[in-house]
Amino acid sequence: MKNGAILLFSVLALAACSQSKTTDSSSTITVHSSETTTTSTTVVQSSSAQQTSSEYQEKAEEPALSYAVNLADFTQEITLSDGTKQTVNHLDFKSKQKNQPTTITLDTKDLNNYGKALYLTTTGGDEFFYPVAIADEPTKRITVTNDAGAKRDIKVNTVVRVAALEDSSDPMEIVGDTYFLFYNDQGTISLATRNFSENTAGTPLDTTNLVEYLPGEAPAETPSSTPVADYPDSETYYDAIRAAWQQQQDYIDSIDDDAVKQSVQTSHSAAIFEANRLEMEHPEDADLINESFQKVLSGK
């Protein structure tokens, strides 16, 4: 009887021990499964973080002014028909579109306070001068129309802002306009301006309706219209600038209608235009020309 009781106790103890091991084993599997799930979640989060970091790096490496125009490209050395070489700092832009200025010259080293200027020649042959400021700004999208009538969207960074003349005149009503420079498909520089036919002067500028001006033929084989020998000193330059001033003043005095007088170029602007024209043709005499120009403005 005693031996039977011992045997029964041993069987019960063995069964309890077996159940305990099973419970521990099951608990261990559950804990292991939880660890596996946690690890998997951590891997997914790491992958997402890497993707975000990669996208940020790509944006950070993208150039901020990738469409900017280098103004050094305006400086060129031309050879005149007499074999002499001359360095100029301007480009002539042309358009064949109707009711637009036929030629626009952008000079990056001008005599005015801004150091840069636009010279516009209308279809009627009138010539106007405006100082401009050129700067690179955040990328902007504009729409231009070329001579063939085709429109296309362009991304730009380099802006040309038309400034007021020293005498505050604005014969073309474009002070405050913003034009744009960009490299075209041929690798040369294009100038985008107001569409004077559809977006008339004096109204807000429409950047979805601009006219594309392309570089004109290089003036390389053309000699200076006024040979350097004809301007041996500042007095002769003075005479040329003074004559331009007087000619425009006489024209203004001949106009009876005050409204018309306000719409034409002033004699002051005419003197500036002539001085800058001479400086573009004879950059080696820039100091002499500027000295003569200042004498004309001061009334000497």
Verify that 89 and 207 share a domain, yes or no: yes
pLDDT, one tens digit per residue, over 233-257 is 667 888 888 888 888 788 778 888 8
* Cα 267 to chain centroid, rounded: 32
Domain that holds residue 251: 228-298
Residue 133 is assigned to a structural domain of this protein: yes
Residue 5 pLDDT greater than 70, yes or no: no
Verify that 192 and 249 share a domain, yes or no: no
Residue in this structure with the two tokens 């235009």, named with its chain if needed: 273
Quote the CA–CA distance of 261 and 122 in Å, as a whole number: 18
Verify that 185 and 235 share a domain, yes or no: no
Contacts of 134 (CB under 8 A, 6+ apart): 71, 108, 116, 158, 159, 160, 161, 181
Phi/psi-derived region of residue 81, left when phi > 0, alpha when psi is between -120 and 50, beta in every other case: alpha
> Cβ(164)–Cβ(150) under 8 Å?
no
Residue 88 is assigned to a structural domain of this protein: yes
Assessment of whether the complete model's pTM goes beyond 0.85: no
Cα-based torsion angle of the residue sequence 195, 199, 200, 203 in order, rounded to the nearest 10 degrees: -130
Highest mean pLDDT among 4-13, 29-38, 78-87, 235-244: 235-244
pLDDT, one tens digit per residue, over 175-207 is 999 999 999 999 999 999 999 999 998 899 999
Q: Which ranges of 128-266 does DSSP label H, i.e. alpha helix?
A: 234-253, 258-263
- Identify the weakest region by mean pLDDT among 102-106, 219-223, 280-284: 219-223
Verify that 243 and 267 share a domain, yes or no: yes
Q: How many domains does the chain have?
A: 2
The residue that leads in pLDDT, 280 or 201, is 201
Residue 44 is assigned to a structural domain of this protein: no
